[in-house]
Structure 1
């Protein structure tokens, strides 16, 4: 008997729930819109998707998505679990994605559908590369234990030359930063070519490490075609770099798998484009399901947004995403992907983040929260360091600010009425 993988969905449909579930199961395995010769009982037993559970969640006003078969009929919502034999796809993540998140979204019996969770058999988890470094390896390379990595993003996102980028990195290194990343928009443009940027930045980071013993982790955005990414990785490795970055939705699972199998450095995985996969509540993915595939493919760090962020995501969703990364993919293989908090983060969100998670195993990346500090980037880094130390010690933000001029200035600048 082949091991099976499972997927949970929230389904909305105008037809009987059992009929809609059977249509989805057939479309995503052995069936089609009409019976065909060869789809025998034996074949179905071997390869068909199976309906594991349907829970009726009650009536809804109407279809959330256009194109429903009978838009004016009564609609119902249900929680649906399907499973498939792993023998259908083998351990191929691209084909598993086509199975659990393929044509089912387009069926006209589907008035809305969202993939909320994936569960994998141990055989599949063991066959996938998974994170090579994760939290433990990242901490070792960054030389940071017992607290979050304090990070930032090069801003302006685009337009700086290699030398201007390196000058900013020098300032951040002197400020005591742990982690710096390219913006996802900065790759290999004419203004700031990848190779020139890498050499200029690593010269600064290596010189700082020689002076202080601390090597700042810099995630270079090497997003590109597979051969380009491999060559860019090798350059960073040869220069003494300790991290690379790729945009997940741009390179796809095959690109991530190829990069992971080549890489000797942690892969900082950016989720830009996440909104088109998730923003409509009746379509797409919950983060737990989406991120599980990227963890299997080898992501060491994954962005989860941040509290009180500049985007549209609610705080509860952000925290649920971070917790999902701490959920083991199988009993014998604990999860190690490190959540990255970003998007409008400042010292003001630190206490809330700690209260919600009670773990220091994260990267807290603040762009404007460091670079726009009224007393400069060094004070921005100090404000975050002091805020995290206070939060983890149970000291309220207002009391901590009394003993930290940098934190006090951050509270004034980023709080209500701040500039």
Structure 2
């Protein structure tokens, strides 16, 4: 928390706790109709951030009953809803969350772990190696598939679509899927290894996303991919579909830095990762060890 000048940090923490649970900007008589003392979040500890003069770590506890079971949109509506525009604070950043096991178990969670995925690939004892097709926009379907084939045959385990390749005029999604899977199958036959390509099924509507995901499954893909920008409801919905279809679901973190880049305002990426794992995605795009991100 970075309080506004003149605002006591403890008061700011208490205000954030209240605004993200039961409180509002004024006194209302309807508080008497419920157990507000129980349901209101509590700021139980405030510590200064080392090396700063106006930033504080505020620890806030919430009753589990404040949140709908298994609903990431409902959880985030409270935790990062109105409170980030609160006038009492100059800046606010969600650094971490510790989630009780009882509430965590109401979410689907990821369908597979790394052991299951390695068993499907029959690859053990080394890191799995992947890359992204470049240029990410502008290639024809045939040339895109050629890149997939050559990359996989050259030693990659997976290739993937980038976040903004969906179904543009230069290459429609079905064309890309077909050429990608042709490259995957040819490479698997040539190398004797299980190979794959993350097919991005992100689209404007859930109906279109279902159509693309089901088609990717029908032509033999073992994995599909969505972008963070599709939203929490769509992510949870696609994770449920992927589990039923026994497909691996990869999430690209597109848009994450609008929350995570500033060090005093927004959301730490570790929190977004926790939410996505709760939702049920198997992989989360996290950038490269070296490179531009």
Superposed pair shares fold, TM > 0.5: yes
Q: Report the equivalent of 1:240.
A: 220
Change (3 A) 1:198 1:52: same
Question: 1:45 deviation in Å?
Answer: 2.8
Is contact 1:11-1:80 (8 Å) kept? Answer: no
8 A Cα contact 1:59 1:77, kept in partner = no
Residue 37 (structure 1) aligned to one of 6, 29, 40: 29
CA distance in 2, matches of 1:58, 1:245: 39
Distance 1:137 1:188, change over 3 A: farther
Which residue is equivalent to 1:394? none
Note the residue ranges of structure 1 that are not aligned, 5 or more in a row: 1-9, 62-75, 312-419
Given that 1:247 and 1:272 are in contact with CA atoms closer than 8 Å, whether structure 2 keeps it comes out as yes
The alpha-carbon distance between structure 1 residues 310 and 210, as it changes in their structure 2 partners (threshold 3 A), is closer
Secondary structure (helix, strand or coil) at the match of 1:82 reads strand
Number of equivalenced pairs: 287
**CA apart distance, 1:148:** 0.9
Q: For 1:156, what is the secondary structure of its paired residue? A: coil
The match for 1:304 among 277, 282, 286 is 286
Range with bigger deviation, 50-59 or 135-144: 50-59
Q: Deviations over 1:100-151 (max 9, x none)?
A: 1111111111012110001111122111111112322322233321111111
Greater RCO (Cα-Cα under 8 Å, separation 6 or more): 2
- Matches for 1:282-301 after TM superposition, within 5 Å: 282-301=264-283
For 1:312-323, list aligned pairs within 5 A: none
Instruction: Give the corresponding residue for 1:258.
Output: 237
Tell whether the 8 Å contact from 1:115 to 1:284 is kept in structure 2 after alignment. Answer: yes
Q: Is the 8 A contact 1:134 1:266 kept in 2?
A: no
Report the CA distance between 1:238 and its aligned residue: 1.2
The Cα RMSD (Å) is 1.9
CA deviation string 1:77-106 (max 9, x = no partner): 211011221212222210111111111111
Q: Within the alignment, does 1:90 sit opposite 2:68 as a pair?
A: yes
Are residues 1:271 and 2:253 paired?
yes
Give the structure-2-normalised TM-score. Answer: 0.91
C-alpha displacement of 1:60? 5.3
| Residue of structure 2 in register with 1:193 after alignment | 172
- The C-alpha deviation readout for 1:298-317, integer Å capped at 9, x for no partner, is 12111222334323xxxxxx
Supply the distance in 1 between the matched residues of 2:51 and 2:180 (Cα, whole angstroms).
57
Larger radius of gyration: 1
Shift of 1:58: 7.5
CA distance in 1, matches of 2:41, 2:32: 14
- The answer to whether the 8 Å contact 1:267/1:301 transfers is yes
Q: 2:143 matched to 1:152?
A: no
Structure-2 change in CA distance of 1:231 and 1:305 (3 Å): same
* Distance (Å, rounded) in 1 between the aligned partners of 2:248 and 2:145: 21
Give the corresponding residue for 1:206. 185
* Residues 209 and 60 (structure 1), Cα distance of their counterparts in 2 relative to 1, 3 Å cut: closer
User: CA contact under 8 A between 2:196 and 2:221: conserved in structure 1?
Assistant: yes
Contact 2:133/2:160 (CA < 8 Å) preserved in 1? yes
Partner SS, residue 62 of structure 2: strand
CA offsets per residue over residues 63-89 of structure 1, 9 Å max, x none? xxxxxxxxxxxxx32110112212122
5 Å-filtered alignment, 1:2-21, equals 10-14=1-5, 15-21=7-13
The separation in 2 between residues aligned to 1:218 and 1:241, in whole angstroms, is 7
For residues 12 and 290 of structure 1, do their structure 2 counterparts lie closer, same or farther at Cα, with a shift above 3 Å needed? Answer: farther
CA separation of 1:221 and 1:123: change in aligned 2, threshold 3 A: same
Among 16, 29, 41, which residue is 1:24 paired with? 16
1:215 offset after TM fit, Å?
2.4
- Cα distance in structure 2, aligned partners of 1:121 and 1:194: 41
Q: TM-score, normalised by structure 1?
A: 0.65
5 Å matches for 1:5-404? Answer: 10-14=1-5, 15-40=7-32, 43-57=35-49, 76-91=54-69, 92-224=71-203, 225-248=205-228, 250-263=229-242, 264-311=246-293
1:158 positional shift:
0.8
